[in-house]
Structures are given as C-alpha cells and as structure tokens.
Structure 1
Amino acid sequence: MEFGYQQAMSCIFPVAIFATLAVSNVIDIPLLYRYDFILIICLIVQFLMFRTGMETMDELKVIAVFHVIGLALEIYKVHMGSWAYPEEAWSKIWGVPLYSGFMYASVASYMCQAWRRLHLNLRGWPAFMFTIPLGVCIYFNFFTHHFLFDARWVLMALLFVIFIRTSVEFQVNGFKRKMPLVLSFFLIGFFIWIAENISTLFGAWQYPNQGDAWEIVHIGKISSWFLLVIVSFIIVAQLKHVKRSKT
C-alpha cells in the first residue's frame, strides 16, 4: 500500500499531462490551439510543484535538462518522419510543439520524486567511464540509426554487461527492498510504452500507421523506451552522485 502511494505521488506530473491530453481531446479550448493549451497547463503544473516544495531547485534543473534533450530528439524524429504532430499551434518549432519536451521531463520528474520518496540507493554502480559513454552512445543511436547501423541490440548487450552487478535499494515502511537495476529499467520502459499508447489515443502525437485510425503502438517500441530510460537514469544517478560528493 505504501509503495503504491509513493509511486502514485511520484507520478503527479505525468498524470497531470495525461489528464490534460484527455480533457483537451474531448472539449474545445476557446481562443487557444490545443497544443498551446497543453503547454500552458504543463508550465502551471511545473510552477506549482516547485512553489509547493514537491520539487526542489536541483530537481527542477534536472527536469529542464530533460526538456531540452527530449525536444532535440523530437525535432529530429519529426523531421525524419518517425511520427508527427498534425494539429496547429503557435508554440511549434520545426513541426514540434514545445509541450512535447515536458513528456520527457515528466519521466525525469518521476525518477527524481521516486528517488527521494523511496530513499533509493544504488549498489554496484559502475564507474562513470562506462556509464557516461554508454548513455551518450544510446542517445545518439536514436539519431544515427536512420542512416547508419542500428546498434540498439549491441548497446543492450553492453548494458547487461555493465550493470549486471548493479541493484537498486528502496525503502517501504522502513523496510529495505532491492531489485536488479536492469529489471527496473525494463519495468519503467514497459509502463512508459503503455503510457505512449494512451497518449497517442488522446492525440498527443501520431505515428505513420495511425493516420487513418488509432492502432496500438508496436511492441518493439518497448526496447526504445528501455534504452531511453537508461539515458535518463544515468543522468539522474550521476547528478545525484555529484551532489552527494559535494556534501
């Protein structure tokens, strides 16, 4: 029960985005394009979470980094035709609405919140000389696989080698639990895939095969989210490590 509650509280930002997508999909927003309305709500939620102390300044900085990383990826992927944002908006840059960066930022928000609420601790975390290059290679593979070899399976094999001894500890009601870190990567990636299906159903964006009617997102996308979660986690973990070393 306590674990579920803390997980739910960690998901406030993603839930706010889903609720906004759902509401804006069924009602007309006066004087605003839908994507612009979603952006305004995301900004308000972000501001309220910071002002109420639900997110710290350090966490806000991490979320801002993810917003930029996610927006850059979105612009490239839309340019390459991987997916599209078909609706009009004032807040579009090269075909991508600015609210899209908040969908990546919401993943960072979840990680930061869960880290603090569940008192996460990493055991056997690899040296940064392995994690940083791996994260960089995973991120750039999302760009380069369009014209070079798709190295995702090679990167996943390296991932298992590098993180095979790494586990994540968390506390629930004062009791410590742990699981293999790779398993937590997969679970987060799987639930993001479910969230992606809900988001596309609400018209957040559109894959090429969803032009005429909505279809379930290909299950192969779980591997993409699995790898993207790793990039996200590496960034958060390294920043937590740097902050801890300064205290």
Structure 2
Amino acid sequence: MSDIQRGHSRFHAVRSRLEAMAIKPGPRGWFLEFLVFGFKQGWACLFGGLMLALLLGTHLFWPDNAPIHRYDALTIGAVLIQIAMLAFRLETPREALVILVFHIVGTVMELFKTAAGSWQYPEASLLHIGAVPLFSGFMYAAVGSYIARVWRIFDFRYTDYPPAWTSYALAAAIYVNFFAHHWLPDIRWLLFAATALLFWRCQIWFRPLHAHRRMPLLVGWGLVALFIWFAENIGTFARAWTYPSQNDGWHMVGIEKLGSWYLLMIISFVLVSLVQRPKGLDQ
C-alpha cells in the first residue's frame, strides 16, 4: 500500500470515528464540531494544498542548473497529482471531467489576460501555450476540485435556490465580462447586484458532524474567495505569476482583487452544479 493509500485510509478511519461519537450540546460539543469542520475542509483542499506546496517548494529549492524548467516541473507535478486523485478515488470521474472544463476555461482566460498585460509569467518553460505555462490551468482546476470535494464531503443541501437557468446565465455573463471590460464598460457592479438579487434568500446547509448547519450562500462564497486571495498572495510570492506592480519586488495583492475572486467563485460553483445537482433538505 502506498503512502497516499495509507493516508486516504487513515482519513476515512479518523472521520468514521469522529462521526460515530456521541456529541452532547454545549461548548465542548461545539468545539469538537468545529475541529471536525476544519479537518474536513483541509481534506477538501487537498489538490489546492499540494499545488501551493509545489509552488513554494520549487520557488525556495529549485536549483538554477536543473535539467528542466521550474514551470515544466510544476506542470508535471500537477498532472501526477491529478492522476493520483483519480487512482485513489479521491475524485470521481465526473468530478474530474468538471475539473478538466475548469482547466480549459482557465487557460483561455489566462491566454487573454496575459496578452492584455493583466499579469505575466516571468520564468521560461517548454510546456506552454503562448505566454501561458500549462500548470496555470491546474490552479483553476484546484478551485474546482475543492468545490466538488467539499460539496460531497459536507453533503451540501440548499433552500430557496434560484432556478438553475438563472445561475447559468449569471455565470456566462460574469465570464464574458472578464474579457469584455477591456473594451466595454465594466459591469461587475451590475453582476454583484444580480448575484445578490438571485441568491439573497438562498441558504447552504452543510453537515460537519451529525446535524446540518446553515449559512447564507452569499457569505459562504465570500469566505472561499477570501481564502483564494490568501492563496493568490502565496502564489505571487512564489513567483508562479506576477502582476505589473510587482516587477520591482513582491508585495501583497490588493484587497480589491477579492471582487474578482468572488465572481470567479460563482463561475466555479455553477460549473460544479452541473455535476452535483443542488438538493433540498428533504431530498
């Protein structure tokens, strides 16, 4: 049995023991439930966590005289992670298909944004399309992997979810605006308003332990966008990519990028919803 298989088995053994425990109401029970929540969140972030470890590790320790470029090593490493996720059943084939769509959608956006000068990849590579190294698509795929896995691990349910076609239309409009705002007026504030109008009543129900808890879906998206912003700062520190303002030295990415990540979260969520159909509490 490989190390990954043993880790997967240990995770399920620990989760089974935790979920079998009798939890009494009160501070001790709430604290234990919070620990289980964090444990499951960490497991859902496996793909993204491994990608961040690759970015940091190669930034700090990749030798200058290595036989392959660092960016190419990141691409190979990302492919191996994806193969392992499927081989050890950490993702289902349907989830992997959605993640492939994420990779394609993300790579198209990268090609456009790098051509427009929004950001750049400062290192050389052989495995690239235009100015975009192929590992970049896996960073979008990591977001898709997280959403697909956390949806399944926490048994997501929804109340007051809007008609599915409206969410598809919203996601399409957001994606188009990422390109069109370079020539046309940026309508992101209208998109935020449309998002609030569609989802302001929607509650997401998640099960950290025995019982489902609820949270406004708009708040949940905001929290995930915040953590993606943290990951973005790690990525730019590791020079996986850089913004023009970082050419003279690294500094934290502006908090205004949270808006972009929030809108990207909606696209990501809607893509996953094509596979993980939103269910109500009574289903």
CA distance in 1, matches of 2:159, 2:71: 42
| Residue in structure 2 matched with residue 105 of structure 1 by the alignment | 141
CA distance in 2, matches of 1:242, 1:31: 47
Identity of aligned residues (%): 39
Report deviation, 1:212.
1.1
Match for 2:122 among 86, 96, 107? 86
Report deviation, 1:130.
1.2
| Residue in structure 1 matched with residue 58 of structure 2 by the alignment | 24
How big is the alpha-carbon RMSD for the aligned residues of Structure 1 and Structure 2? 1.4
1:150 correspondence with 2:182: no
Residue identity in the other structure for 2:209 = N
Residue identity in the other structure for 1:26 = L
Match for 2:232 among 196, 213, 217? 196
DSSP-derived class of the 1:234 partner: helix
Match for 1:216 among 233, 252, 270? 252
Q: Tell me, which stretches of 5 or more residues in structure 2 are unaligned? A: 1-34
DSSP-derived class of the 2:255 partner: coil
Residue pair 2:51, 2:139 contacting (<8 A) in 1 also: yes
Indicate the structure (1 or 2) with the bigger Cα radius of gyration: 2
How has the CA–CA distance of structure 1 residues 243 and 182 changed in structure 2, closer, same or farther, with 3 Å as cutoff?
closer
1:61 correspondence with 2:97: yes
Report deviation, 1:167.
1.0
Kindly report which structure 2 residues correspond to 1:143-182, keeping only aligned pairs within 5 A, or say none: 143-182=179-218
CA distance in 2, matches of 1:242, 1:11: 21
More divergent stretch after superposition (195-204 vs 27-36):
27-36
Report deviation, 1:242.
8.8
Residue pair 2:103, 2:138 contacting (<8 A) in 1 also: yes
Match for 2:46 among 12, 19, 42? 12
The TM-score with structure 1 as length reference comes to 0.96
CA distance in 2, matches of 1:224, 1:26: 28
CA distance in 1, matches of 2:208, 2:225: 22
The TM-score with structure 2 as length reference comes to 0.84
Report deviation, 1:76.
0.3
More divergent stretch after superposition (69-78 vs 232-241):
232-241
Report deviation, 1:89.
0.1
Q: Tell me, which stretches of 5 or more residues in structure 1 are unaligned? A: none
CA distance in 2, matches of 1:14, 1:35: 17
CA offsets per residue over residues 67-120 of structure 1, 9 Å max, x none?
000000011000000000011000111100010000000000001110111111
| Residue in structure 2 matched with residue 39 of structure 1 by the alignment | 75
Kindly report which structure 2 residues correspond to 1:224-239, keeping only aligned pairs within 5 A, or say none: 224-239=260-275
DSSP-derived class of the 1:239 partner: coil
CA distance in 2, matches of 1:47, 1:166: 35
How has the CA–CA distance of structure 1 residues 187 and 242 changed in structure 2, closer, same or farther, with 3 Å as cutoff?
closer
More divergent stretch after superposition (204-213 vs 165-174):
165-174
Q: Post-superposition, which runs of at least 4 consecutive aligned residues in structure 1 deviate over 6 A?
A: none
| Equivalent residue pairs, number | 244
How has the CA–CA distance of structure 1 residues 224 and 123 changed in structure 2, closer, same or farther, with 3 Å as cutoff?
same
